[in-house]
């Protein structure tokens, strides 16, 4: 890649990124070897094209280099790279790779191959020709483009022009051709069970803090709410941060640091019970956020996504509050990622994390549809920080944001004495959504549930045809939000 892209301004993928790609989709990473050396290579993903539409960017379709967008259940083979070492050019190796991709597409029964194609010679003609005029002249063989001419000769057709596809591609002036090759042998498979939903129902629990004598009684109350939202056919049940705080009364006579670690001892049993409830009631549970100890004994705040198929994953609070750090010695997590579910791609940011816009922007670049925010605030000031920031995140990232908090008092639990909350579901602000961008909200400081339907198709329509397009209109030539590699 370094040799093939020399002088183009393109940086090659890191070894770690390429290994991630191989781990996720080994069949899609094609290589031609000559004399013991890599002579040419083609890299690809399988994607659910409905999540991206015809106006995506390279960053969006690759998950900003994380390749989290790879979906084995998708129907489109998406080509993300193809390159030939300069020493082996002129040997028709690119055609071999294209043929291999087509064979792979047919064998996997995928609908098509798509790619964003560079037009590197456009830089020479940009002062006099629009991208459309340039492509038409290449099509009529009046101009030769080393990439587009080759792709047209390999039975690809230009579906549309992509603006801002790769702002770093100065030769193409940021433009790209959306290329497509259709697999005429593709046979549609009717999905009868387990298809990803477009209409998603969310059940939000506004939890009343009260003392419980033990874990069993606490989980009885949790099960009551899971059962309640499940009766309405909810796809998600969302619990608030520190819903298990009443159990800390057992350790009330201990110093703060010991008390919170005593509460962390309940984390694994709670997770196991939440997984059981998710399967029993056929609902994905966002397990609030509870303190837990990692393998080295460090205290962290974690939200468990418990899927209704019995699986689970963890999202860690990245920014502990000043009190969590000074009183409890809590550490922030280091993993920023989305989670694929049977009801869309979701993100989880815990309370204070929603006040850092960079986090949700990184998740949006991975194709997030719904952002869940379990929170715990004691004053209206703290609550409004969460609420106002959550509303902003929904608009700027073109996604739904769900906040779930707790209410009431815990007079015998230090540092958890009072709660203030008004749980809600926020939307982007455009014609398909409520005028005030609030889908629904609870009565403040009252124990209740909120049952809300959101449509993921409306998000796709917003991405492609919204009155304004916050994600697409970013000036990535001037600024960016970059994930640091660990």
Cα separations in angstroms, 304 against 109, 110, 237, 240: 35, 34, 12, 12
Please, where are the H alpha helices in 158-295? 215-231, 256-264, 267-281
User: For residue 194, what pLDDT is reported?
Assistant: 58
Angle at which helix 380-396 crosses helix 357-365, to 10 degrees, equals 30
In sequence order, what are the beta bridge partners of 289?
241
Mean pLDDT within 39-64: 91
Mean pLDDT of 7-11: 69
Q: Under a CB-based contact definition with an 8 Å cutoff, are residues 267 and 293 in contact?
A: yes
What is residue 8's predicted lDDT score, i.e. its pLDDT? 65
- How would residue 358 be classed by pLDDT, with cut points 50, 70 and 90? very high
Q: What is the C-alpha separation between 129 and 195, in angstroms, rounded?
A: 45
pLDDT value at 215 more than 90: yes
pLDDT value of position 193: 58
* Dist CA 365 CA 350 (whole Å): 19
* Active site residues per annotation: 241, 317, 351
Mean pLDDT of 262-290: 96
**Domains, the chain, ordered by start:** 15-182 (3.40.630.30), 199-460 (3.60.110.10)
What's the order of all strands across the beta sheet hosting 112-117?
30-34, 37-47, 76-84, 112-117, 176-182, 157-162
Query: Structure pTM?
Result: 0.72
pLDDT, residue 129, reads 93
Range ranked top by mean pLDDT from 71-85, 129-143, 391-405? 391-405
Rounded distance, CA 451 to CA 228, Å?
10
> What are 448-467's pLDDT values in tens digits?
999 999 999 899 889 878 89
Instruction: Find, among 221, 257, 254, the residue nearest to 240 by Cα.
Output: 221
- pLDDT tens track for 227-268: 999 999 999 999 999 999 999 888 877 887 888 999 999 999
3-state secondary structure at position 479: coil
- Cα separation, 310 vs 158, whole angstroms: 43
336 class by beta-carbon count within 10 Å (0-12 exposed, 13-18 middle, 19+ buried): buried
Q: How many CB atoms lie within 10 A of CB 379?
A: 11
Burial class of residue 415 (count of CB atoms within 10 Å of its CB; 0-12, 13-18, 19+): middle
Quick one: 225 exposed, middle or buried, by C-beta within 10 A (0-12, 13-18, 19+)? buried
pLDDT band at residue 188 under the 50/70/90 scheme = confident
pLDDT of residue 195: 63
Proportion of the chain above pLDDT 70, given as a percent: 97
Q: Are 264 and 292 in contact (CB under 8 A)?
A: yes
Confidence tier at 429 by pLDDT (50, 70, 90): very high
Residue 257 has what pLDDT?
A: 85
């Amino acid at each position: 890649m370094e040799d093939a892209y020399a002088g183009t301004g393109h940086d090659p993928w890191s070894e770690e990124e390429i290994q991630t790609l191989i781990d996720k989709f080994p069949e899609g990473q094609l290589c031609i070897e000559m004399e013991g050396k890599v002579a040419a290579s083609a890299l690809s993903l399988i994607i659910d094209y409905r999540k991206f539409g015809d106006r995506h960017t390279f960053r969006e379709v690759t998950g900003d280099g994380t390749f989290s967008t790879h979906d084995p259940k998708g129907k489109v083979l998406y080509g993300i790279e193809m390159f030939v070492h300069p020493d082996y050019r002129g040997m028709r190796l690119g055609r071999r790779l294209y043929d291999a991709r087509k064979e792979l597409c047919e064998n996997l029964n995928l609908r098509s191959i798509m790619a964003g194609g560079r037009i590197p010679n456009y830089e020479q003609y940009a002062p006099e020709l629009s991208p459309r005029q340039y492509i038409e002249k290449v099509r009529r063989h009046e101009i030769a483009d080393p990439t587009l001419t080759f792709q047209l000769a390999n039975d690809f057709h230009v579906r549309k022009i992509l603006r801002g596809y790769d702002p770093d591609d100065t030769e193409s002036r940021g433009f790209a051709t959306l290329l497509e090759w259709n697999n005429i042998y593709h046979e549609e498979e009717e999905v009868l069970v387990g298809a990803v939903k477009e209409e998603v129902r969310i059940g939000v629990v506004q939890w009343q803090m009260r003392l419980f004598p033990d874990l069993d009684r606490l989980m009885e109350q949790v099960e009551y709410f899971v059962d309640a939202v499940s009766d309405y056919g909810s796809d998600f049940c969302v619990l608030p941060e520190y819903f298990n705080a009443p159990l800390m009364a057992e350790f009330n006579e201990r110093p703060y640091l010991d008390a919170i670690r005593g509460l962390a001892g309940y984390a694994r049993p709670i997770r196991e019970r939440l997984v059981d409830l998710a399967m029993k009631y056929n609902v994905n549970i966002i397990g609030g956020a509870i303190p837990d100890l990692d393998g080295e004994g460090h205290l962290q705040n974690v939200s468990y996504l418990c899927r209704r198929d019995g699986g689970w994953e963890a999202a860690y609070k990245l920014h502990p509050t000043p009190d969590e750090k000074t009183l409890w010695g809590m550490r922030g997590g280091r993993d920023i990622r989305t989670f694929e579910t049977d009801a869309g791609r979701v993100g989880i940011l815990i309370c204070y994390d929603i006040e850092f816009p960079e986090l949700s922007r990184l998740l949006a670049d991975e194709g997030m549809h719904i952002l869940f925010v379990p929170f715990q605030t004691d004053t209206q000031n703290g609550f409004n920080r969460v609420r106002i920031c959550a509303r902003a995140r929904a608009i700027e990232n073109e996604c739904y944001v769900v906040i779930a908090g707790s209410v009431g008092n815990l007079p015998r639990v230090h540092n958890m004495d009072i709660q203030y909350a008004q749980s809600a579901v926020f939307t982007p602000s455009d014609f398909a959504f409520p005028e005030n961008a609030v889908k629904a909200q609870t009565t403040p400081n009252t124990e209740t549930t909120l049952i809300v339907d959101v449509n993921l198709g409306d998000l796709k329509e917003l991405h492609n045809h919204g009155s304004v397009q916050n994600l697409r209109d970013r000036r990535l030539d001037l600024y960016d939000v970059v994930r640091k590699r660990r």
